[in-house]
Amino acid sequence: MGGYYSCTYIQNGITFYPDNKLTVCCMSFDENVTIANLEDLPENLSRHILDKKQIMIEDFKKGKIYDCCRQCPSLRKGYFKTTIKKIRHITLNHYLACNLKCIFCGYAKELFGKSKDTNHNLVLKTIKKMRHDQILSKDLFVDIGGGEPSISTGLNEILKYIIGLGYNAHINTNAAKFSDVYADGAKKGKIKITITADAGSKDVYAKVKGADYFKTVWENTKKYIDYIGEDNDRKVEIKFILQPENISDINNMIDMCVKTKVKNIVCDMDLNIKPENYSVYKKPIVMFKKLCYDNNMNLHKGSFLPDELWHDTQKQDSFKTYFDKMLTRARKCIKTSVRPLILVGLLMILTVLMRLIR
């Protein structure tokens, strides 16, 4: 067996976190994956970043997987590069301010009230240093999460610098506040906007998001799409993170997408859901797929929705789609066929089979 366990961040990325932390990982700020404190940077920062990654790669090649990495959905076995020379992916998670209190948010549970934002100017200075040292790849991609980026004063300066260099950025926003900077960047093809709506009805939204911005969020979603255009090649997409509180709201989610002309949807799942509870989400995911298909929408798998669950529901969805088509054909034939009794029997058999697999 060849290859070793790693992930795209060990290979390509760095993340800025609160408390002046610069790490290898997009999900953890454990000491094992921490590169440096931004207030006390090593003299040769760029060399230090690459050396830290090299140490991790050598450890992982030997089977020494860090505890903070073991349960990560991004960890996989493959044939990866063994020498790292460039950074291709930066995540900005260094600020905490948010206008919502989402029930699944790790930031709210682990950091809020315990940690402090890393100064935006310090982050920008570090990115400029890495560019000067020529370790940023020509195809660098920047993910912006946090906190809520649209209310974080000073973050736009980093965003404008990144775009000004010709790099692309991905904004994760709750859209409770509209941003002209995001809209303009998306229209120019430099920014991708992912709006985490997570609900299609006011009551469910309040339960999941901890505040009443339901109407505002969907109005801003339509505003982004109207400004950028409906056929926007995923420049704007809506993400629904499935969890116990919203899996009964899928019909409403799709209805709101239809009303606001959304064409691209991401179906994801709460990272804290245990494998023994995956079966609860099979039918909702199949419903998501069917409704998106029926409404000519593009559905994409989120980063934290397990591959096995997605592929398993894909098989169910394909099987049901096949029988749906057969039922439709049979109904049409019954109206015109000279042997309707045979076709009625066929229709009954197909109906029973459909009920068995649902």
- Domain for residue 242, yes or no? no
266: pLDDT strictly greater than 90: yes
The answer as to whether 350 is a domain residue is: yes
- Count structural domains, the chain: 1
Q: What is the pLDDT of residue 105?
A: 80
**334 within a domain of the structure (yes/no):** yes
Q: Is residue 52 part of a domain?
A: no
How far apart CA 38 and CA 124 sit, in angstroms, is: 11
Q: Is residue 125 part of a domain?
A: no
Q: What is the mean pLDDT of residues 283-308?
A: 92
Residues of the chain above pLDDT 70, percent: 84
Backbone angles phi, psi at 291, to 5 degrees: -65, -35
Instruction: Give the pLDDT band (50/70/90) at residue 292.
Output: very high
Match 């029997």 to its residue by tokens: 345
Residue 281's pLDDT band, with cuts at 50, 70 and 90, is very high
Q: Are 69 and 41 in contact (CB under 8 A)?
A: no
Decide which of 74 and 114 is more confident. 74
- Residue that wins the pLDDT comparison between 246 and 321: 246
| Contact by Cβ (8 Å): 117, 97 | yes
Q: What is the distance, to the nearest Å, from the Cα of residue 113 to the centroid of all Cα atoms in its chain?
A: 25
Q: Determine phi and psi for 212, rounding to 5 degrees.
A: -100, 75
Domain that holds residue 321: 309-358
Span 34-68, pLDDT tens digits: 999 998 888 888 999 999 999 999 999 999 999 98
Domain membership flag for residue 346: yes
What local confidence, expressed as pLDDT, does residue 1 receive? 46
- The predicted model gives 337-350 an average pLDDT of 64
The mean predicted confidence, pLDDT, of the chain is 87
Share of the chain above pLDDT 90, in %: 61
Assigned domain for 329 exists: yes
Rg (CA), the chain: 23
Question: What b/e string do you get for 212-246 counting C-beta neighbours within 10 Å, with b at 16 or more?
Answer: ebbeebbebbeebbebbeeebeebbbbbbbbbebb
CA distance 90 to 76: 20
Check pLDDT > 60 for residue 144.
yes
Confirm whether 338 is domain-assigned: yes
Residue-wise pLDDT for 13-39, tens only, equals: 999 999 999 999 888 878 889 999 998
- Kindly report the pTM of this predicted structure: 0.84
